[in-house]
Amino acid sequence: MDVIVGNNVNDLFVEGLWRLKVSGIKEDSRNGSVIVLPNPAMSVYNYPMERVLFDPDRDCNPFFHLMESLWMLAGRNDVAFLEHYNKRMKEFSDDGTAFNGAYGHRWREHFMNDQLVEAIGMLKHSKTTRRVVIGMWDPGYDLGNPSADIPCNTHIYFRTLGDRLDMTVCCRSNDLVWGAYGANAVHFSILHEVIARAAGLRQGLMYQLSNNLHIYEHHWHLLDCPVRTFEPYTIKKGLVLPLFEKQEDWPLFIEDCETMEIGIYPNYHTPFFQNVVKFAMMAYSAYKKDGYNAALSVTPKMPMCDWRIAMESWLIRRIPKGAHDVPEPK
């Protein structure tokens, strides 16, 4: 087994690419050629709250990553909300309306009980329980199903050490760029934080076991990018804002997730929604309607944090060369 350790997703992204470059082998897959590690890989996040990837060559969309994570916590499986932030998402739906394997829907609806509520309740009742498992794979539903959307991540384990809650995610097949160190790092670290805080515990280490860690041919150029050095988490402290402060506020945070709709900005209950999510939604809608200038006039309304830095950087990278009258982020 390959063990890839880092403080955060930025460290793991660099190390994971290096491992694939020096140890990966070429294979054919259902979706084209890949370079894959010959062994399962365990990714270890020392500080999973540092979940935002800043790499300009990867150029991931932080608006999409954040909104998809909150959409998951709401237990949703609709295409329309995610398609606003990523027009390609419709390609992964069988009917263009709903997703078959949406993680959040599996967490909260698919198995006829709310696994988040159950997991939090079990951990509050017994900190040392080893029976807290959240499932995403349904063998009676997924095995042999030709759907375009079958869960790649299959189940999640929790383990408490003192006041620290560690989390292990198991994944059958993991695209390093779009999955492991892209969306997954955000989705699962946010889930981890919510469950830890709601149970009165400290968010500990996050592990992701990838049975097949690979990179597709259209991303092979990333293997030859220069060494990456810009990583705001190492430059400035205090960039990570908690999703909610008080243990008893977790239902209000989930309620805020459940009320998200495009173009609607209600009086959210929690500061993270009031100060970050609301303005991120407004900025992206402004970007789609009027362009980067309009969006960059909204992002300064957020406090300085990792999401704001990533969103402003992503918008600035979309400015055509030679363009003028672009406001400097403050």
Q: Quick check: is 152 catalytic?
A: yes
Q: Which listed residue (152, 170, 171, 305) is catalytic? A: 152
| Phi and psi torsions of 130, nearest 5° | -110, 15
Q: What is the set of active-site residues?
A: 152
